[in-house]
Structure 1
Amino acid sequence: MSTESATAAGTTATTRTNGTASTFLVWLRSYRGVHYVILAVAALFLLYESRHQGLFYDDWDFVDGANTNLFAPHVGHWSTVPMVLYLAVRTVFGLDSFLPFAVMVIVAQLGLATIIWRIMLKVGVAPWIATTASALICFLGAGGENILWAFQVGFMGAAALALLVMLLLMRERFGVWEIIGVVVLSILALATSGTSLPVLAGAAVVGIVYRGFWRTVAVLLPGAVAYGVWYVIVELHSTGNAYHASGLFQYLTQAPNYILGMLADGSGKVVGIAALGAVGFGLMVIWAIYRLPKASKRWTAAYACLVAAILFAALTAYSRLNLDVPTSGRYVFLTTVLMLPMAMLALTAVQTRVGLPLIGSVVVVALLVGYNFTQLLPVLQGRASAVAETKQEFAATASLIRSGASLDPSAKPAPRFAPQVSVRDIQRMVDNGWMHPGSFDAAAMLTVRAALDVTITSADAPNTTAGCTWLPDGSNSVDLGSGATIKAPGSTQIQYVLTEGTTVSNPITGTLASGWNRLKTTHGNVRVVGTANTVLLCGSRHELTSPGQG
């Protein structure tokens, strides 16, 4: 090759490289590029924060190995997909590192963020408003209960899969692969969590508008049949969900406030001011109803998501009426995701109608993102503390097992944040090599002792109550020594700790039966720190002290 040819080739290659770099920089500065930068930043942040997280509460239902039925419901939810994911991660990676579980739930959360971003773009939300709003899902402190809690891969994953069904039904081309996608994704969504039900109902609305009634029925029918078969064969024969409304009367009288609280008060948690959130939610609904007669086809998904949010609140009001407050973070997370397309569509319409600069609307949404980020950090810190406590309690239990101590295999040594895990479960996880417990402190060992050694049994009434003392309900601090006889007016929750010298265990919650009970320990000193009702203490030593003294 001549020198001139080589020079020309080099110049062409340099020009091509510069052109590629220039194109990438242009893309990076576009709303699409910014959206993916937001996802990348969020992923790095969440991975960094995951180093302090771990398995928590419901996580243990799927990893301790006690439940081998992949089709068994979890609190009423068909949960085969998350069960399989948990068992796969446990088998491949074990339980010592939370990172594989963190990746699983981060993918679900950020997948949900990018799917709802695409829906916002399709319904006509201004691209920069949609992009900024997608960051809200990445750092939603008001819904922080979902974030980095591995168990919520089912909650968020089911909604993400159902929203993917909605996106497929909106595609201009709807061929064989789209049909297969809708069928497969809808079945997977239903087998992931019941949160998919209201979202798939919204997807059906979109399908009817875009694809027609019968074609929508045809592509969603396999999922409906699969869920129906599971419900009849499995769910109807399970022990059921103890938290649902007790009957039609309770639902009709209490559910409306529950539903409105989830949607309106939940919006207040997102914006940080209860009244402002409720007013904003009300104005959005009024605007959506007002514009409905003139709404274009492309707005269908925004209306469908809003309907899905209301249906989710209504279903939750039935299934969790006696369990959670309506503004629990996990509920606020999903209602926020589902209401976002309509809220941002309304913001876009107002901004366009009034002629306000786009930057103003973007800044408003960005301020919401910033506020929620500040609310997210304490949530993650609180759960990190709970996780650290549980790890130490498991380690203390493993140490007792290794020492040959006589332990009840069915006893639960970490009742605060892993109440379903027994001594037998911990031994199995250690023996199988899934878990290698680390160090623990004296307080952790005392907490395990409090959970394993303190017993509450029925007792006969004492011969006399002359030396007994009434303990009022609320916070207290009463030392019982090795135990006492206690009379409760009805089923009464009681909190106690175990003390040994200056070491104090974490609080344990127990339940006194109506009538006389015997609370005793074979280790240390029991101190009652709170009761739900006024009770009568008799026997042993007991000194009433003001709350906080010890």
Structure 2
Amino acid sequence: MRLPRERWPLVTTVLIVLIGSVFLLTQARHLWFFGDDWAFLLARDLGERPVESLMAPHNEHWSTVPVLIYRALYSVFGLHHFLVFAALPVAAHAVACVLLFLVQSRCGIHPWVSAGVTAVLVFLGAGAENLLWSFQIGMIGTAVFGLAALLLSAGWTGRRTVVIIWTLSVLSLMTASTSIPMLIWLGAFTFARHGLRRALVLAVPPMIVYAAWFIVWGRQAETGIPESRPVDVMPLAWKGLSVTWERMTGFEGVGPVLVIGLLTAALTLQPDSARRALALSGAATAVITYLILADSRGGLGPESTSPSRYSYFGALMLLPALALVLHSLWDRLKTRRVEGSVALAAILGLLVIPGILGTVDFRVGRDTLTPDLRARTIAASELARSSERLLDNAVDESYNPNITADALRLDSVAAALPDGPVTARDRLTARAALQVSAAPTSWGLPEAVATVEGTETSPSGDCSIGLGAVGSVLEIPSGREGAQARLILSETDRTTVRLRDGTVTSASVPMVVGDTSEVYVGVTAPGVGLLVDLPPGVPFTVCGRLDAGQEDAIAP
């Protein structure tokens, strides 16, 4: 049976989506659970307080849907099959891409143009954080529900459609806070096509549901984000949108030009058409979204609106404007189809190729943040379940604070961990995380005979003072009962530590120390050397016993 010609763009789109999904999974297989994944895996047990676990905000997000998905998969697979979790955002992204194609086609964008623009979204390296981080099923889930609601709104048929749109919108709101911009897009598009009354009918009831959740649970959220300055909101919003499209092309400085061009196209091209309504409502929502981000995130600094996870929406909402431009170009070249096809392919290729490269770059960068985390977590679980004394609770305070010794002690968590090779270095790194810490009071451990290496020291009472240099360390040898030493680091409140056992040295682990205040640096791992890095140019004071050779070297 021969496929009708009008079906070719849809089939092509599905093939592109399948190829893109395979590509994303090949990248994701190099990664493991990261960051907020662990909040849903280890801190959202539905057994004791199920309602609170389901309804409490994650940061400020209503996350009931992703929590349910995570808990269901965890109960079946544990942590043994990461690709099952990694497939979540990939599958959701695939659905979002097909929905974008259908929405654009329903609004009158030429099917081949729509297929090409969808390919840009499929390989959106600018939004790779959402595509390769399983936790981002929340953000991409809002796009799926929101685009499905847009598709139904574009073909409004009656009350049943309204109920389905309400259901999709509420599910979107229950997935992440990026649902609010998607609901704004739905309202703006419906307003442009069907008027204010219908827009309010679709948008207000879901927002009432969200308001009820916020009053009962959502207002408990404490993000700890400093307030943004009003003067910074517009520049930060503009920067976020511009950076998105700059990343999409790979050319520095073109982002502002592209954004201005797309906004202008959405305002001026093909008025009184569904194509223009989709493009204009999407462009307006993109601007509103980044203004919201700048206002709510601006206190985090100049890069607060630039993360890849936001770029996904900056691209998605402006892609219909790009489709409108390309549709107009296609119409102008309708008598020269070869030239039109070449021009379309060239323009889209300039966006797809950087997207593929950007996705690989993101995967490599993410992998370097937490190397060997799987093996270190397994080693930390073994250590947490032993009888050895621990001084800290976090396995990876910087990127995975929810991986704690308290959680890893649980039988259910230990059983959920995958099998895998664990090296001596992995075990030593786990010890550096859990058996080394600094505190303002004594740990009750034996006083160490410490050594400062890599820089000179001078006596100061019963202490020694010096200035950190490149490669300088304080070495604290640990006996069977551990050891401790007193340390003051000026001009910084943190450093890094390593453990050395013969020829094996652990990875560096961050350690918080008091800025200019004395702390006791303790280690309970037996028979190892603790290496405390002394940052270059930072004054330090070591109190207690230095080894005899060093005391002789610094004696006046």
Q: Scaled by the length of structure 2, what TM-score is found?
A: 0.84
Q: Deviations over 1:307-350 (max 9, x none)?
A: 22122212222332244543211111221111111123123324
Q: Which residue of 1 aligns with 2:232?
A: 254
Counterpart of 1:208 (choices 184, 191, 202) is: 191
Q: Deviations over 1:119-139 (max 9, x none)?
A: 333444443232122122222
Give secondary structure in 1 for the equivalent of 2:416: coil
1:54 equivalent to 2:36? Answer: no
Q: Which residue of 2 aligns with 1:304?
A: 281
1:329 equivalent to 2:308? Answer: yes
The code of the aligned residue for 1:527 comes to L
Pairwise CA distance, 1:279:
1.6
CA distance in 1, matches of 2:380, 2:491: 33
The code of the aligned residue for 1:522 comes to T
Give secondary structure in 1 for the equivalent of 2:81: coil
Pairwise CA distance, 1:110:
1.1
1:163 equivalent to 2:147? Answer: yes
Q: Deviations over 1:388-420 (max 9, x none)?
A: 621111111232245443446x71123344221
The code of the aligned residue for 1:313 comes to Y
Give secondary structure in 2 for the equivalent of 1:366: helix
- Assess, with a 3 A threshold, how the Cα gap between structure 1 residues 466 and 455 changes in structure 2: closer, same or farther: closer
Question: Is the Cα–Cα contact under 8 Å of residues 486 and 535 in structure 1 kept in the other structure?
Answer: no
1:79 equivalent to 2:31? Answer: no
Pairwise CA distance, 1:513:
2.3
Q: Which residue of 2 aligns with 1:537?
A: 541
- Assess, with a 3 A threshold, how the Cα gap between structure 1 residues 386 and 265 changes in structure 2: closer, same or farther: closer
Larger displacement relative to structure 2 (463-472 or 444-453) = 463-472
Give secondary structure in 2 for the equivalent of 1:497: strand
Matches within 5 A, 1:283-302: 283-291=261-269, 294-302=271-279
Larger displacement relative to structure 2 (499-508 or 180-189) = 499-508
Give secondary structure in 1 for the equivalent of 2:401: coil
CA distance in 2, matches of 1:372, 1:124: 26
Q: Deviations over 1:359-387 (max 9, x none)?
A: 21222212321222122123224434556
Q: Which residue of 1 aligns with 2:16?
A: 38
1:396 equivalent to 2:376? Answer: no
1:457 equivalent to 2:420? Answer: no
CA distance in 2, matches of 1:477, 1:327: 36
The code of the aligned residue for 2:530 comes to V
Q: Which residue of 2 aligns with 1:5?
A: none
The code of the aligned residue for 1:226 comes to V
- Assess, with a 3 A threshold, how the Cα gap between structure 1 residues 351 and 212 changes in structure 2: closer, same or farther: closer
Gaps of 5+ in 1: 1-19, 545-550
CA distance in 2, matches of 1:102, 1:479: 41
Question: Is the Cα–Cα contact under 8 Å of residues 54 and 387 in structure 1 kept in the other structure?
Answer: no
The code of the aligned residue for 1:255 comes to V
Q: Which residue of 2 aligns with 1:15?
A: none
Q: Which residue of 2 aligns with 1:345?
A: 324
Question: Is the Cα–Cα contact under 8 Å of residues 105 and 150 in structure 1 kept in the other structure?
Answer: yes
Matches within 5 A, 1:212-291: 212-238=195-221, 240-243=222-225, 245-246=226-227, 250-291=228-269
Q: What is the RMSD of the two structures over their aligned residues, measured on CA atoms?
A: 3.0
Larger displacement relative to structure 2 (198-207 or 93-102) = 93-102
1:469 equivalent to 2:447? Answer: no
Q: Percent identity?
A: 23
- Assess, with a 3 A threshold, how the Cα gap between structure 1 residues 126 and 502 changes in structure 2: closer, same or farther: farther
Pairwise CA distance, 1:442:
1.7
Q: Deviations over 1:447-483 (max 9, x none)?
A: 11111111111269x96387301237xx754243356
- Assess, with a 3 A threshold, how the Cα gap between structure 1 residues 232 and 490 changes in structure 2: closer, same or farther: farther
- Assess, with a 3 A threshold, how the Cα gap between structure 1 residues 425 and 533 changes in structure 2: closer, same or farther: farther
Q: Which residue of 2 aligns with 1:426?
A: 408
Question: Is the Cα–Cα contact under 8 Å of residues 92 and 141 in structure 2 kept in the other structure?
Answer: yes
Q: Which residue of 1 aligns with 2:480?
A: none
Q: Which residue of 2 aligns with 1:522?
A: 524
Counterpart of 1:119 (choices 103, 124, 133) is: 103
The code of the aligned residue for 1:296 comes to S
Q: Deviations over 1:255-291 (max 9, x none)?
A: 2222111101221111001212222222222333444
Q: Which residue of 2 aligns with 1:481?
A: 476
Pairwise CA distance, 1:432:
7.0
Question: Is the Cα–Cα contact under 8 Å of residues 55 and 217 in structure 2 kept in the other structure?
Answer: yes
Pairwise CA distance, 1:541:
5.6
Q: Which residue of 1 aligns with 2:3?
A: 23
Q: Which residue of 2 aligns with 1:108?
A: 92
Pairwise CA distance, 1:65:
4.1
Give secondary structure in 2 for the equivalent of 1:467: strand
Question: Is the Cα–Cα contact under 8 Å of residues 266 and 276 in structure 2 kept in the other structure?
Answer: no
Larger displacement relative to structure 2 (209-218 or 269-278) = 209-218
Gaps of 5+ in 2: 47-52, 443-458, 478-483, 551-556
CA distance in 2, matches of 1:353, 1:208: 29
1:150 equivalent to 2:150? Answer: no
CA distance in 1, matches of 2:264, 2:252: 18
- Assess, with a 3 A threshold, how the Cα gap between structure 1 residues 129 and 535 changes in structure 2: closer, same or farther: farther
